[in-house]
Amino acid sequence: MWDKRNDMIVYETEPFNAEPPPTALAGQPLTPIDTFYSRNHGPTPDIDASTWRLHVDGLVDRQLDLSLAELRQLPVQTVVATLECAGNRRAELNAVRPISGQEPWGPATISTAEWTGVRLADVLAAARPRAGAAHIAFAAPDIARNASPPQPYGASIPLSKASSGEVLLAWSMNGRPLPRVHGGPVRVVVPGYIGARSVKWVHRITAQPEPSDNYFQATAYRLLPSDGIRGPGRGIPLGPAILNAAILAPGNGAAVAAGPTSVTGYAFSGEHTVARVDVSPDGGQTWSQATLAQPASPWTWQLWHTTLSLPGGPALITARAWDDTGATQPEQPATVWNPEGYANTAWPRVQVDVRSPVR
């Protein structure tokens, strides 16, 4: 479905929610479109690019109403950026204490693409936000039935982020027209922020003094205290992505031959840089450093690899990333467990069975 690879892990078909098997992401700086995860809260709209329009309003000197052809007259910009769903790795939180009504995402709800479009900053410069504008809200037409009350998808980011050069209104992904399921004809791409802020099928941009009151900004995508009571303004709103990492290969539960074992994964720290990744062959007793690949841009994950020499029998491979501020990942999912199951950044672990060659 949606031209995805056959081995995609599909949690729901309508709305479409799917991630690739972790090994499909291994060693690839850019994720092929057929492998890129997809997260949807409502049915995928079918928007005619020739009649699509973008309205810019709110606290601006000049309201805009742009066609795609008009948008394309602004300077074209390409940014390679990683999108990570805030629910990435929720399955490991479910194992601590079950989280109901949320997709049990594995560690592959993250992908990287080359996005092309125009800078949101250039559109805002044309509209000229007024004094008092502090947030830029995005609205889309897809209606999320599970929102309370049911409503179209929306989100916002601070004006300072919206005015930075990296935030795009994109119509192309990996050199191809933006596929419908990924937000075509035009989506927002907010590099360094949780995926939820990269609003697909965007049709309205509003400058305002406060963050969006849309359900997905005001109520969902927040770290709730353990009482789990949700409501507008409750919990810590998620914006910039938090330092995270995963092991992509070998896969969890894999059998590997004794001797040197190649271990690969990603680390991602949103607006920061990953400074180091440590890998342990024994569940965190001893550590060595992985080799970090040069990232394709400041806005992408950093792939890493190392070779471990594992003794025979069961082994627990563990990793932990550090960023350029010295922050590192918490050891246990229980430390970061939260009622909606967002932002699991605990040490990733992969259990393997090391088999000695038969003599």
Q: Which residues form the interface with Mo ion (CB under 5 A)?
A: 39, 85, 195-196
Q: What share of the chain is helix, strand, coil (3-state, %, to 5)?
A: 10, 40, 50
Residue 320 half-sphere exposure toward CB, CA atoms < 13 A:
19
Question: What distance in Å separates the CA atoms of residue 68 and residue 80, rounded to the nearest whole number?
Answer: 22
Burial of 132 (0-12, 13-18, 19+ CB in 10 A): exposed
Provide the token pair at 213: 């009151």
- Interface residue with ligand MTE among 52, 153, 299, 301 (CB under 6 A) is 153
Which residue of 24, 56, 99, 140 would you call a contact of ligand MTE, by CB under 6 A? Answer: 140
Q: Which of 201, 215, 301, 322 binds ligand MTE (CB under 6 A)?
A: 201
For the bound state, the minimum distance from the C-beta of residue 51 to ligand MTE, rounded and expressed in Å, comes to 18
Contact between 195 and ligand MTE per CB under 6 A = yes
Q: Answer yes or no whether residue 90 interacts with ligand MTE by CB under 6 A.
A: no
Asked if 319 interacts with ligand MTE (CB under 6 A), we say: no
- For the purposes of burial, counting CB atoms within 10 Å of the CB of 294, is it exposed (0-12), middle (13-18) or buried (19 or more)? exposed
Residue number, 110 or 274, with CB nearest to ligand MTE: 110
Of the pair 85, 207, the CB lying nearest Mo ion is at 85
Q: How far apart are CA 110 and CA 268, in angstroms?
A: 10
Q: Is 107 in the site for ligand MTE (CB under 6 A)?
A: no
Count of H-run helices and E-run strands, the chain: 6, 23
Contact between 167 and 161 under an 8 Å Cβ cutoff? The reply is yes
What is the per-residue burial (b if ≥16 Cβ within 10 Å, else e) of 255-277? Answer: ebeeeebebbbbbbbbbbebbeb
344 binds ligand MTE (CB under 6 A): no
**110, two tokens:** 């993250």
Which CB, 170 or 336, lies closer to ligand MTE? 170
- Which residue lies nearer to Mo ion by CB, 85 or 120? 85
* Residue nearest ligand MTE (C-beta atom): 195
Beta pairing partners, 176: 173
Q: Residue 115 binds which one of Mo ion, ligand MTE, none, with CB within 5 to 8 A depending on kind?
A: none
Among 123, 147, 186, 196, binds ligand MTE (CB under 6 A): 196
Q: Assess 25 for contact with ligand MTE (CB under 6 A).
A: no
Give the residue, chosen from 54, 60, 66, 83, that forms a contact with ligand MTE under the rule CB under 6 A.
Answer: 83
Q: How far is the CB of 144 from Mo ion (least distance, A)?
A: 12
Interacting residue ranges for ligand MTE, rule: CB under 6 A:
36-42, 83, 85, 140, 142, 153, 182-183, 195-196, 198-201
